Structure 1
Amino acid sequence: MGQGQRERVATSLTGAVGEEIGGFLAPVDAELERRYPGDPGTRQPVHTVYVPGDDFAADTLRVWGDRALAALDEHAPDAASFAAVLGLDGALAEDVYGRVRAKLEREPVEDLRVDFEDGYGNRPDAEEDETAARAARLIAAAHAAGTAAPYMGVRVKCMEAAVRDRGIRTLDIFLTGLMDTGGLPDGLVLTLPKVTYAEQVTAMARLLDAFEKTRGLEPGRIGFEIQIETSQAVLAADGTATVARMIQAAQGRATGLHYGTFDYSACLGVSAAHQASDHPAADHAKAVMQVAAAGTGVRVSDGSTNVLPVGPTEQVHDAWRLHYGLTRRALARAYYQGWDMHPGHLPTRYAAVFAFYREGFARAADRLARYAGRAGGDVMDEPATAKALAGYLLRGLDCGALDIAELAGPSGLSRAVLEQFASPRHGDLTGSA
C-alpha cells in the first residue's frame, strides 16, 4: 500500500460489548475515584514544629527564628563555615546559606503544632482547659495580624480510654475558641496520636462531624493527621496493613500520616541508643505508610531526631551533620516533611531542603520543558514522570528553595503549567510551555 493511501480499519466487536464492559467496571471506576483522588495539589510544609501547650506564646514563631539565626551566628557565621560542616560546594553553599537566613527571617516555621500530648503531659483539668483556650486565642490573633505560620493547630491526647475524655474536651475548647474568635482559619491542622485501631480514627471523624453539625460548618471542613506510633498501626493481628484501613476509616478527613520515631521504636523493643529515623524498623513502617497513602491524597511525614544541636560548637556541628543527613535521606525516599524539635534544627532542615531542590531543579525543568514541547532529549519521559518533575519543582517553589523567575527564564515553565502537569488527572498533557 502506498504511503498516500489510507489504511483500512476493521473491527469485529459490536458497541454493545464495550457498553457491557463499561457497566461491569462502573463500580470499580467509582471506587477508584473515591479511594484514590490523587494529591490535593496544596502546599505541603517541609516540617512540623512541636511546642508544648504551656510553652506556646504569641512570639513563639519569631523566637524560634531568632534562636536559629543566633545558632548560625555563633556556630556557622558565613557560607564557608556552614558548607564545611555539611559538605556543600562553594557556589551551592553561598546560595543555600543566603536562602536559609532569609527563610529564618521571613518564615522560620512552616507548620506548628501546639502539643497537649507527650510534650505537655497530664495536668489538672482546669489548667489544660485554660491552656487550650489560650492556644486558640493566640492562633486566631496570629492569623488576624498576618503573623501565623502557613499551618498551625494542636495535637491532643489519643483515643485510648484513660485519656479519651481529656483529649475530646481539649479539642472542643480549642475549636470552639477559634470559632468564637473569627472562625476556623485556613491551614488549621489537628493531630491524633498513638492510634492502634481503625475504630479510633472513625471516632475522631465522628467527633469532628458532631462539632461541624453543632457549629453549622460545611461537612468535612475539618481534617486531621494520624500519627503512626505503634506496631498495631502498621500491621494488624490478622496480618493486614492497619494503616490502609485507617485512611478509609477517616471518612475523607485524613490529611497526613506522621511517623513517630521514638514511640514506634520503643514499641518494637529497639534500644534507646538505636532509636532513629533511619533504623530498619523505621524504614519498614514508613514504606508501609507510603504505599498505603499513595494516590489517596494523604501525605506522609517522617519523624524527628532527638539529638539536639546544643553545647560547644563541635557538638552542634555533629548534631547538624546528623540532622542534615537524615533530612536528605528522607527527601530521597519521598518523605517531604519531618519533625523539628528544637530551633537549632531549623538551619539544617532548610539547608537540606534547599540543597535538595537547588541541586536538581535545572535538570528537572529542562526535562519537563522538553516533554511539554515534545522536544526529546537523553531521557524518554512519560506522563507519570512529568507529573513527578512538576511536583518536585512546585515543592521547591513553595518552600522558598526556588524562584519562579529562574524557572520561567530558561525553560519557559510557569506555575500554571507546573500545576497542570502535577494534577492527578493531567493524563498525557503535552504542548507548549
Structure 2
Amino acid sequence: MALSERDLDELRAAAEHLDRLLLPGQVDEVVARRPVHTAYVPADRFDAGTVAAWGAAARDAVRDHGPPAGFPASTVDMVLAKLAAEPIEDLRVDFEDGYGYRDTEDQDALAAGAALRAGAPPFSGLRCKSLEPSTVDRAARTVDAFLTGLGPPPPGFVVTFPKATSAAHADVAVLLCRQLEHAHGLADGTLRFELQVETPQAVLGADGRSPLPEMIVRSHGRLAGFHYGTYDYSTALGIAPGQQSLEHPVADHAKAVMQVAVAGTGVHVSDGSSNVLPVGSPQEVHAAWDLHARLVRRSLERGLHQGWDLHPAQLVTRFAATFQFYLDGLPPARRRLDDYLARRASGVLDEPATARAIARFLLRGLHCGALRRDDLGHPIEDLEAL
C-alpha cells in the first residue's frame, strides 16, 4: 500500500470533524406511534365530552350523507370502528385564533385543563397565544392555569406556540417550560412543545439562512414538532384567499424546508389544515370530502404523516385516506421487502436505504391501525431492526 500510517491518521482526524457538522443530538428516527392528525378545538367549545361528540358527529355525517366516494366498504367499516373507539388521536385545545381575546381566559384555561384530565386521547395539549412581547404574559398565564386544572401532564402532552419567527422563540419556550415545571413540581424535561411555522421569517431569516435548524438545537430536546400554518403563511406571502391551500407552491416550499430541517433529529413535521369543511348539502359535503381525502393522500405521498382537522366530519376522510394509503401500498411493499431480504432479482433494485423506507412504511401502517401484524409478512422486531 502506498498510503502511510501518517496519511491515515491525518485522514481520520479530518473525518472526525464531519461529525461536528451534524446537529447536536442528531439521531436515527425511531418509528414509534405518531398521531395521524391533530384535532383543533377552540377552548370555549371544549369539555370532557368533546372527543366522544366529535366521533358521534363524524359517524352521523356518514349516516346522513353516505360514505365518501372512492373507498371500498371494508375501509369504510374500519373508519366507522375507529370513530367509535378513538375518534381523536391528538387533541389541541386552542386559545389562539380559534378562541380570540376574552376576559375569562384564566377560568377557561383552568376548566379546560380539568376537562382534559377527565379523559385525554393518546396525544393532547393546548395552543396558547404567541410568545412575542405583546402576548407573552397572556400565553404564560394560560398554560399555567391549564396545568393547574390538568395536574401532571399525560403522556404525549405538548404545548403549541404559534407564530415562531426566529430561534429566539425556542429560547423563550424553553425558559417558560422550565419555569412551569418548577412552579408545578414537575420533573425537568416533562414539558415539550411544538412551534408553528406560519411566518416567512421562520422559513428564511434576514441572514439568508433558515432558522429552523437552530430552533431545534436551542430547544434542548424539548421540541416535538413543527406545524405548518396554512393561512397565516399564505396571507403573509400575498396569496389570494381563493388560492390559499395545502397544495399551493408556497406551501410545498415551506414544508419541504421544514422536512429538510428536521431530518434525522427526531422532530416531526405536521401539515396544516383545509378550511373547506364538509357541511351543507350532500353535494357540498361530498365535494369537501373529496378535496380533503385528496389532500391527505397527497401529504402522505410527500412524507407528511400528520395534519390538522378543524371539523368532526373531516375525521371521516382523514382516517379513510390514511388507511387506504397503507392498504394500497401493502402488496408492493411486502413484495419488494421479500425480494430484498431473499436477494432475489426483481424489477426494482432496492438497497439498504429503500429497505429501511419500506420497513418504516409497514410500521407506520401498523401503528395507525391500517395494517395488522399478520399483514406485515415479517416480525415487528425484524422491521425495527431494518
Question: Shared topology, TM-score over 0.5?
Answer: yes
TM-score w.r.t. the length of structure 1 is 0.85
SS at match of 2:138: helix
CA RMSD in angstroms comes to 1.8
- Structure 2 unaligned regions, length at least 5: none
SS at match of 1:32: coil
Q: For 1:132 and 1:193, locate their aligned partners in 2 and report how far apart those are by CA, in whole Å.
A: 17
Cα gap change, 1:235/1:59 in structure 2, threshold over 3 Å: closer, same or farther?
same
Contact 2:35-2:89 at 8 Å conserved across structures: yes
Partner of 1:6: none
Aligned counterpart for 1:139 among listed residues 105, 108, 116 = 116
Deviation readout 1:356-413 (Å, 9 max, x if unpaired) = 1100112112222332343443322111111111111111111111111222xxx3x1
Q: For 2:4 and 2:21, locate their aligned partners in 1 and report how far apart those are by CA, in whole Å.
A: 27
Partner of 2:310: 341
Q: For 1:14 and 1:152, locate their aligned partners in 2 and report how far apart those are by CA, in whole Å.
A: 58
Partner of 2:212: 243
Partner of 1:105: 84
Larger radius of gyration: 1
1:48 equivalent in alignment to 2:38: yes
Partner of 2:60: 70
SS at match of 1:227: strand
Aligned counterpart for 1:87 among listed residues 31, 49, 70 = 70
TM-score w.r.t. the length of structure 2 is 0.95
Percent of pairs with identical residues = 47
Residue 308 of structure 1 deviates from its aligned partner by 0.9
Equivalent positions of 1:113-128 (< 5 A) are: 113-124=92-103, 127-128=104-105
Contact 2:32-2:367 at 8 Å conserved across structures: no
Contact 1:157-1:193 at 8 Å conserved across structures: yes
Deviation readout 1:71-90 (Å, 9 max, x if unpaired) = 000111xxxxx3xx5334xx
Q: In structure 2, give the amino acid aligned to 1:418.
A: L
Cα gap change, 1:58/1:226 in structure 2, threshold over 3 Å: closer, same or farther?
same
Q: In structure 1, give the amino acid aligned to 2:380.
A: R
Residue 40 of structure 1 deviates from its aligned partner by 3.6
1:402 equivalent in alignment to 2:371: yes
Stretch moving more, 208-217 or 266-275: 208-217
Deviation readout 1:318-354 (Å, 9 max, x if unpaired) = 1111111111111111111111000010111111101
Partner of 1:350: 319
SS at match of 1:34: coil
Cα gap change, 1:289/1:40 in structure 2, threshold over 3 Å: closer, same or farther?
same
SS at match of 1:135: helix
Residue 47 of structure 1 deviates from its aligned partner by 0.6
SS at match of 2:332: helix
Contact 2:24-2:217 at 8 Å conserved across structures: no
The count of aligned residue pairs is 386
Q: For 1:211 and 1:35, locate their aligned partners in 2 and report how far apart those are by CA, in whole Å.
A: 24
